[in-house]
Structure 1
Amino acid sequence: MNRKTLVLPAMIGLLAPVLAACGGSDGGGKDDNAIVVGTTDEFSASGDAPAPFDPAHAYDASTWNVLRQTLQTLMHLPRGGGEPEPEAAEQCGFTDNGNERFECTLRGGLKFSDGSDLTAEDVKFSIERVLGIKDKNGPAGLLANIDTVETSGEDKVIFHLKSGDATFPYKLATPAAGIVNPDAYAPKKLRSGFEVDGSGPYTLEADAESNTLTKITFTKNPHYKGHLTPKSSHKIELRPFTDPDAMGKSLKRGDIDLMARTMTPEQVKSLSEDSDDQLEVVEMPGLEMRYLGFDTDAPVAKSRAVRQAMAQLVDRAELTSKVYGNAAEPLFSLVPATITGHTNSFFNEYGEPSTAKARALLRDAGVKTPVKLTLNYTNDHYGAGTKKEFEILRRQLNSSGLFDVDIKGTDWLKFRANELDGEYAVYGMGWFPDFPDADNFIAPFLDKDNFLASPYANSTIRNTLIPASRQETDRLSASEPIEDVQDIVARDVPVLPLWQGKQYVAARDDITGVEWALNSSSNMQLWELSRGVGE
C-alpha cells in the first residue's frame, strides 16, 4: 500500500522552527548498504565563502544540518520539540535568579573523533573563537550576549551573560556553540574547505568536484559519548541533486532511500497519490517562513509609506495557493503560528488587500507614483517556486498602478553578499529558525548586529521589549512584549512576512525513523534513520 503519514504539530512554545544546495549526481547506486538521503541543497566553497562548514562562518540550515551530525553541543533539542536537554553536558542550568549565570558540567570521558580528550577549555575555546572571528555572515550574534566564559577544572563551564536571557539554553543547542578540536581550528582564522573535526555522533567524508560537494558520507564516531543514539549500523550519505525532479526519479529507481529538501508541491501530491507500495510521504509541521526585507536607508524604501503600501497590496492567499498549494499558508507576522506569542499583526493593521488604502498611504506621505523598484530574489536557494512567487508579487504590485516593479534573480552566494553589502533596496529571503522560540523570529531581524545587516533600529524593541521577553523563564509570560514587537513591525514594515511552510519527506518503505528525520525547525536528525523491512 501507499502510505501518507501526518505528524500532528507539537505545541511548540507551550512545551517549549535550508539546506544550502549543490548540483550533484542523478543516481549512481548505493555504497555498502548506506542509507542515502537526497537533497536539492548545494554545498560549495568559494572566494566569498571559503569555509562553509566552519561553525564561526556557517549560518544557514543546510550547513547547520551537516554540523549537527558532526559537532557536539552542550545542549540539544529533543526530537519531538520541547525545552533543551544536556548533550555533551551531564547537567546545565542557571544558577541565579536573573538568568545571567549559566553553568554546565560535562559528561565524563568525552573525546573528539580523533580520540583526544575534550575538556571544558575546549568548550571555552570554541565559543570564544566564534565571538572573536565575528564573521559578518556567521552566527556570532546568537552568542553576543555572552560577557565572559570561565572554566573550573576539566569538566565545568560557566557563562556570564551581559543581561538575563532565558533563551540561552536554546542557543547552546545550535551549531554556533558547536565544540571544535583546537588542534584543527585556528583561534582567529576560518578553516577553509569541507573538513569538520568535532565530537558528534558522526564523522564526515566529503567528495567534491570544482569546490562543490557531490556526496557527504557520515560514519559513526566510535568515540562519541552523548545523549543521541544513532539507530543505523550503516553509513548515511547525503547526496545533492540539481533539481527536485532528478531527485524524485532517483528515489523511484531506488538509487536513494529518502528525500527531504526541496520537494515541489507537485511532487508531494504525485507521491502521495502514487500507487507505488514501496514509497511513503510524511507531512511534518514546519516553521519555515518567507519574507521581503527592506534596506530602510535606500531612497526607494526609505519612506515608511512605500513599505506600508506594499504591505497593503500583497495578497498572500493568492501567492501561497498559486505557487505552493497546501504546502504553505499566509503569514501575517514575523512570529509563525504555533509559536507562543504569535499574533496576526499585519492583518490587524492592513486587513484585506486594497488598492484604495495603498493609494491613500502614498498620497498622504507625498510619494509620487508609480514607485519604481526591483524585487531581488535568489534563484537557487529556496526551491523551484521562488521565481513564480516573485512574478506573482510583481503582478500584484504593478496591477495597482501604484508601482512599477521589476524582478531579478541571482545565485545565492552572490545574492547574500550583495544583500549584506546593502546593494538591494527590496529583497526576498527565507528563515529557518535556530530554535523554536519567538525570540529567534525577532532578534535576528531587529536587534543590533542583525542577520540582515538592516539599518532599521527601533530603540523600544532593542532596549525594552527584547530584553523584557528574555527575562521570562516561563515563555507564556513573554507574550506581551513579543506581541508589542510584532505590532511595531507591522506599522514600520522593516520586513514584510509572506508565508509559513510545511515540510515533507518521502522515503522507501524499508527506512524507519522517517517521521523524525526533520524536526519543526528543519533540523536534520540522521541518527533517527535505520533500515528495516519493507511492507
Structure 2
Amino acid sequence: MNRKTLVLPAVVGLLAPVLAACGGSDSGSGGGDAIVVGTTDRFTASKDAPAPLDPAYSYDVGTWNILRQTVQTLMIQPKGEGEPVPEAAESCGFTDTGNERYACKLRSGLQFADGDAVTAKDVKFSIDRARAIKADSGVFALLSTIDTIETQGDNEVIFHLKTADATFPFKLSTPVAGIVNPDDYDKGKLRDGFAVDGSGPYILKADTDGDEMTKAVFTRNPHYKGTLKVNNDEVDMVSYKDADAMGTALQKGDIDLMTRTMSPEQIKKLAESPAGGDIDLVELNGLEIRYLAFDTTDPAVKSKAVRQAMAQIINRNELVSKVYGSQAEPLYSLVPASLTGHSNSFVNTYGEPNVGKAKALLADADITKPVKLTLNYTTDHYGPATKQEFEVLQKQLNDSGLFDVTIKGTAWDAFVPAERKGEYAVWGMGWFPDFPDADNFVAPFLDKDNFLKSPYSNSDIIDTLIPSSRREADRQSATKSLTEIQDIVAKDVPILPLWQGKQYVAANNDVTGTAYALNSSATLQLWELGRGASS
C-alpha cells in the first residue's frame, strides 16, 4: 500500500488570526456513507465510574471528545485556534472593569435535540449542577471562580465571579459547562450509562457490549443552531483494543480515519511511505504532556529529597529518543514550551542528569539507599509505547544504584479509581489541556480541589500566584506569576514533567477536513470531516 504524508506547519496558533467557522447543521456537503473513525479510547461504565458521559463527571480526553460532538457550550475554541468565540451564545463578554461580571446572550432559536427550547435557565441549571455534584473526577474545579449565576429573561446569563479570571471564557468552552436538558438530568446526581442529551451538532447512539461502549454513532442534529459548519450526516467512532487492530482496520478499509492512539512505529512507517498513495498522515501541533505524579504523604516519596533525586537522575532526552523519536520533545516544566508563560524550571534547577548530585541529595536527607519504589502506569489509555517508556525510566533510576524500582501496569478502568483512592505513591499520567492557556497546566494540578487529589498544597501558589496570573487579560503579563509557580514545582517536585508530544491523524485520502480533525487541545472536531476528491 502506498502512502503519502501531509505535514502541517506548526500552529503558532494562539497568536494566529482566528479563522472562525460559520453556518449550522444545514451547512456542508453532507450525504454519502458514514465516515468511520477508529480510536483506542475505551468507554466503560464501571461500578466506580458508572456515569462516564455525564458532563458533571467526565474529565478525560476520550469522553470529552464524545461530549464535544453532542453537548453545546456558550463558547467554543475556533477552527483556526485563538481566543474562544460564542457558540450557543450570540455574544459574551466581561461587563465590568474588574473582570468579575461575565454576561452572555443566547443565540435565538436554540433547541435541544428533542426539539425543546434551550433557555438561560437551562444554562444555569447545567453549570450549577456540575458545581453542586462535585464529582470525584475533579472536573467541577474548572468552575471554581464562579460565585453565583443569574438569569435575565430566557436569553441572558450573567456569571458573578469570586475573583478576576481572564481564562473564564475558555472554561465556558469546556464540556463541564455543556448545556443539558433538565428533563433528562437529575439536579443532584449523575446520569449513569452512555446516554447524552444536548443541543450540539450531533445526536449520539451508543452501541454497547455489556458495560462498554464499542461504537458511538453520531448523526447530524436537525435542531442544531450554532457556529459550526457540519460537513457530514453521520460519523461512527469505533473502539479498538489496540493500535495494531486499529491500523489493520484502516488498511482493510473498515475505517476511514484513525487517531488516538497510534503507536510510534505506525507513525514512523506512514511518514516514511512514498507520496501518492491512498493514506495521508497528518501531523498536527499538540499540547499533550506526560508526567509522574506523587502522593507526597506516602512514606516512599514523602521526603522531598527522594523526588528531587528522581528529577536529578531522569534523562528526558534519552527517554524521548528511545521511545518516541521525533514524535515528542523533552519537557522541563508543567507548561509546554509553545505556550506563553513557559519556563524551563527543571533545567534551571537541576541542569543535566547527574547521579552524584542525586546521591548527595539523598545523603543530606539521611535517606536509606536504594529507595524502593513502584512506578504505576496504565496499559491501555496513552498508547502502546507507555510500557516501554516506564521500562526506560525504571532502568535509568535503577542504574544509578540509588533506587530499586519496579513497574506495574493496570487497565485504565481500574487505574483511575486506584489513583483517586490514594493507592499509588508514584504514577504516570498524561494531560490533554482543557484549553490552550498556561493556567490549565498549573491550576488543575496545584489549586484547591485539584483533579489529582494531591495532598501537596502551597499557599503562595493557591492564594497569591494563581489568582495574580488570572487577573492578567494580557497573558504575557501573567508570565512573572506563572514562572514563580513553575520554579516552586521544580523545587518541591509534587509532579515531574517528562515530555510533550505531537498529534497525528491517518486517513484515506478521499476524506476531507483532516487538517482540522484535531485542535491543539486534542479536541476531536468530527464536523470538519467530509468526503471529496483526493488531495
Q: Give distance in 2, aligned partners of 1:62 and 1:191.
A: 18
Structure 2 counterpart of 1:151:
151
1:217 aligns with 2:217: yes
Q: 2:361 and 2:13 mapped to 1: Cα distance?
A: 37
1:216 is aligned with what amino acid?
Answer: A
**TM-fit CA distance, 1:367:** 1.1
Secondary structure (helix, strand or coil) at the match of 1:288 reads strand
In structure 2, what is the Cα distance between the partners aligned to 1:282 and 1:8?
A: 10
Give 1:117's aligned residue.
Answer: 117
Normalized against structure 1, the TM-score is what? 0.96
Q: Distance in 2 between matches of 1:436 and 1:32?
A: 34
Corresponding residue of 1:261 = 260
Q: Please say if residues 219 and 236 of structure 1, whose CA atoms lie closer than 8 Å, have aligned partners that are also in contact.
A: yes
Match of 1:26 in 2: none
CA displacement at 1:421 relative to structure 2: 1.3
Aligned residue runs from structure 1 range 51-66, under 5 A:
51-66=51-66
CA distance in 1, matches of 2:424, 2:373: 10
Match in the other structure for 1:178:
178
CA distance in 2, matches of 1:372, 1:398: 10
Secondary structure of 1:457's counterpart equals: coil
Structure 2 match to 1:248: 247
Does the 8 A contact of 2:200 with 2:224 survive in 1? Answer: yes
Which amino acid counterpart does residue 526 of structure 1 have in structure 2? L
The corresponding residue for 1:457 is 457
Aligned residues: 520
Aligned to 1:3: 4
Return 3-12 or 222-231, whichever deviates more: 3-12
Match runs of 1:91-170 below 5 Å: 91-170=91-170
d(CA) in 1 for partners of 2:62 and 2:424?
24
Quick one: distance in 2 between partners of 1:341 and 1:5? 30
For residues 3 and 484 of structure 1, the distance between their equivalents in structure 2, rounded to whole angstroms, comes to: 45
> Does the aligned pair in 1 maintain the 2:13–2:80 contact within 8 Å?
no
Provide the C-alpha distance between the structure 2 equivalents of 1:41 and 1:513, rounded to a whole number of angstroms: 22
Aligned structure 1 segments of 4 or more residues deviating by more than 6 angstroms: none
Give CA deviations for 1:484-528 in whole Å, capped at 9, x if unaligned.
100110000000000001010000000000010000110000000
AA at the equivalent of 1:181: N
1:268 counterpart letter in structure 2: I
Q: Retained in 1: the 8 A contact 2:4–2:273?
A: no
Match of 1:369 in 2: 369
Matched AA of 2:40: T
Partner Cα distance (2:264, 2:376) in 1: 23
Q: How far off its partner does 1:210 sit?
A: 1.3
Q: CA deviation at 1:15?
A: 4.9
1:420 aligns with 2:449: no
| Shift in Å, 1:358 | 0.2
TM-score by length of 2: 0.96
- CA positional deviation for 1:66: 0.5
User: Is the CA contact (8 Å cut-off) linking 1:58 and 1:138 kept in structure 2?
Assistant: no
8 A Cα contact 1:14 1:340, kept in partner: no
Separation (CA, whole Å) in 2 of partners of 1:309 and 1:138: 30
Give, in whole Å, the separation in 2 of the partners of 1:92 and 1:3: 43
Contact 1:287 1:520 in 2 (8 A): yes
| 8 A contact 1:12–1:436 mirrored in 2 | no
Instruction: Report the counterpart of residue 323 of structure 1 in structure 2.
Output: 323
Q: Is the 8 A contact 2:5 2:273 kept in 1?
A: no
Distance apart, 1:13 and its partner CA: 4.4
- Using the alignment, how far apart are the partners of 1:9 and 1:475 within structure 2? 21
Partner secondary structure for residue 515 of structure 1: helix
Cα deviation, 1:223-279, whole Å, max 9, x if unaligned, reads 0000111012x3111011111111111111111100001111111111222347111
User: Residues of 2 paired with 1:219 and 1:138: CA distance?
Assistant: 30
| Backbone CA RMSD of aligned residues | 1.3
* Counterpart in the other structure of 2:488: 488
Q: CA deviation at 1:32?
A: 6.8
Distance in 2 between residues matched to 1:500 and 1:317, nearest whole Å:
12
Secondary structure at 2:287's aligned position in 1? coil
Residue 34, structure 1, aligned to residue 34, structure 2 = yes
Q: In the TM superposition, what are the counterparts of 1:80-99 in structure 2 within 5 Å?
A: 80-99=80-99
1:532 aligns to what? 532
Do 1:140 and 1:176's aligned partners in 2 also have CA atoms closer than 8 Å? yes
Distance 2:384 2:467 in 1: 39
